[in-house]
């Protein structure tokens, strides 16, 4: 199974990584080899499209790499790929990666915003829920 995990370093994103780790098959699972291959996890971190100076874009990428290192360390022993994607809209960027690789599921954390605050701020998980053509797992 190919899974995309949206990751921004937040507590909710860390919960999504932990959840993925608990439900997916690691690389060295010998007893399951005839039945299933190890799962493939794609960690996707989205940064804003560069409208800034070159130095700021480089800094944003470096920060994203540092954030992704946490997730990569948590997922040692799993088949993991990490991508930093530029985009204006986080949910669209995650969906683009998912569709490009042919993912089977998207896992994201929920910010937990409710009511008026959630309606005003919007939510990546809400947008993914509305737009995704693949199963979406939102971790609270």
Over residues 6-40, the pLDDT tens digits come to 999 999 999 999 999 988 877 776 555 555 666 89
SS3 112: coil
Q: Distance between CA atoms of 132 and 139, rounded to whole angstroms?
A: 16
Any idea where the domains of the chain sit in the sequence? 2-139
Which strands sit side by side in the sheet containing 40-47, from one edge to the other? Answer: 79-86, 40-47, 2-6, 105-109, 136-139
Q: What is the pTM of this model?
A: 0.84
Query: Do residues 67 and 28 make contact, with C-beta atoms less than 8 angstroms apart?
Result: no
Q: What is the pLDDT of residue 120?
A: 36
* Structure-token match 């960027």, residue found: 93
Pick the CATH number of 2-139 from 3.30.460.10, 3.40.50.620, 3.30.70.2190, 3.40.50.300: 3.40.50.620
């Amino acid at each position: 199974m190919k899974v995309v995990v949206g990751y921004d370093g937040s507590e909710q994103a860390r919960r999504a990584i932990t959840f993925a780790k608990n439900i997916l098959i690691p690389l060295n699972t010998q007893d399951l080899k005839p039945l299933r291959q190890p799962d493939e996890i794609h960690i996707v971190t989205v940064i804003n499209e560069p409208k800034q100076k070159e130095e700021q874009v480089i800094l944003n990428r470096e920060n994203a790499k540092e954030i992704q290192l946490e997730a990569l360390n948590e997922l040692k022993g799993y088949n993991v790929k990490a991508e930093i994607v530029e985009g204006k809209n986080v949910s669209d960027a995650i969906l683009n990666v998912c569709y490009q690789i042919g993912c089977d599921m998207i896992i994201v954390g929920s910010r937990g915003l409710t009511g008026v605050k959630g309606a005003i701020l919007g939510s990546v998980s809400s947008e993914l829920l509305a737009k995704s053509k693949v199963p979406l797992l939102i971790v609270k």
